[in-house]
Structure 1
């Protein structure tokens, strides 16, 4: 049973979106229908918590889960008992019954290596717009993980965000994700005009592309942390292939001052990143975040050619699956380096910034 649509409450005032309908399918070599709903070649399926009815869970308890922003079995399995007990109207006994019922639905989280290999076939690889940068990433930005890019001002981070917001809507046959995009804008960087230019480059209808981007304009860290819950009904109802946050640390740095609040800042940042990771796995979507840099002032700085390091400390370092470092080259050329990754070798690639987004470097 597909997840049912849930009326938005006041929390979704964070978002600005016009819904589109239909499938993102390839109509011809020159034209792509970019209205996103369900893509036939996608195996990603979420199971509504309504499926708990067949396991004997009362409709009232299912409604309480939805009021607690839990709409799918996948999300339910990733929620702790403590979090479920905090939902009004759910006792410990009810929570135990709900979790036991959820274990009988869908795929088990315990599997053998062959099953894990089969699951890898469903991983999305979203093109960056540059063949050399795609090659560095072995295909593009990957789903079910967090990809972080950090670097100085005007090194191409936001340009890549806008390019991915378009390419994520391409079908998988064209190196896309075949789904909608959630763009969490913490630095007021989202430009619809830029999206239109990039969409035209890929032969897409700019209006349909913009319809399929949910934009959340965020002004403090609390809004940022609650944003995913605010749009959880959209994530359950529609196929999303990408969540973008530009940038992940800006508001945390602004709202927490000095060393006295550092521990609290890192704790909240860690919780936010854990939520992002759960969403990525539950919905088979990619999470792409940008980050700022700071000067490295310790003793190792004198032995480093480019003594800059990303903000966020060990919390962000461990949460990000792949970290990319962008730096400026000549003119509009930029250099991307794999800073850390469990499967990508340390290497570099060049790309360029243009009006139509990220492109291959010509120099």
Structure 2
């Protein structure tokens, strides 16, 4: 084999480089616990409980892991120990923390003034809660972010996909087409890069959140996920519970 062919064989395409970078910096799938001796059946039980990443395992309190049906106390200790070895949870240098912050993408809201207030836009990798009176623009902002998250990075986007769990029935795909036209994006592509689900009650919404968490681990291209709150119910999803499901 010639030197040129050998060099080409070891060179990575841009897509392969992106995938390698995602593996390094993105959340680690919980299936990696199997390499540490955790049974596949126990990994499935974790996923069924909405724990789809190693980070979720490491960050979940022991008492909460013990609530998972079918996982004994001894198994919880073994799972927690394995996860703690794979997920850095100790001290880190400020330079490493700075590099992690630099990797965060800020999605434009479509409003220069609002972006200025938010110091750049809506951050990825965190939960942003929108609240306000009826007709104050919450749904409109979510519709806009569904489109702007698909913009190129140099235009304030994330070059990704959007996910929307609608508990109020207020989502309108035609509004996405109008916003896509404003930003010069292909409407059909915008709709194709969008996953939608209608939540009919709090239990259904919780199940959709578990499914969403799994989808977000399987594809790192989902840059934004929107969840509207069921306000006409006697049961509510607390923000802490939502965070536990999505992180």
Of 163, 166, 170, the match for 2:144: 163
d(CA) in 2 for partners of 1:184, 1:83: 25
Partner Cα distance (1:224, 1:156) in 2 = 22
CA distance in 1, matches of 2:33, 2:149: 32
Superposition pairs of residues 175-324 of structure 1, within 5 angstroms: 175-239=156-220, 240-246=222-228, 248=229, 251-252=230-231, 254-256=232-234, 265=235, 268-270=236-238, 273-278=239-244, 282=247
Relative distance call for 1:220 and 1:64 in structure 2 (3 A) is closer
- 2-side partners of 1:102 and 1:55: how far apart? 9
Which structure ranks higher in relative contact order (CA pairs < 8 Å, sequence separation ≥ 6)? Answer: 1
TM superposition shift of 1:61: 2.3
Cα distance in 1 between the residues matched to 2:21 and 2:79 = 32
TM-score (norm 1): 0.57
State the distance in 1 between where 2:83 and 2:38 align. Answer: 10
| 1:61 counterpart residue number | 42
Query: Within 2, Cα distance between the matches of 1:171 and 1:276?
Result: 28
**In proportion to residue count, which structure has more helix?**
2
In structure 2, relative to structure 1, the CA distance for the partners of 1:245 and 1:108 (3 Å cut) is same
> Cα distance, 1:119 vs. partner?
1.5
Displaced runs of 4+ in structure 1, greater than 6 A? 38-43
Structure 2: any 5+ residue segments left out of the alignment?
A: 1-14
Q: Report the Cα offset of residue 120 of structure 1.
A: 0.9
Whole-Å Cα distance in 2 between the matches of residues 245 and 78 of structure 1? 22
| Structure richer in strand, relative to its length | 1
Aligned residues: 229
Q: Post-superposition shift, 1:39? A: 7.6
Q: Go from structure 1 to structure 2 and tell me whether the alpha carbon gap of 1:154 and 1:87 turns closer, same or farther (over 3 Å shift).
A: closer
**2-side partners of 1:40 and 1:125: how far apart?**
22
Aligned match of 1:5: none
Distance 1:276 1:39, change over 3 A: farther
Q: TM (normalized to structure 2)?
A: 0.81
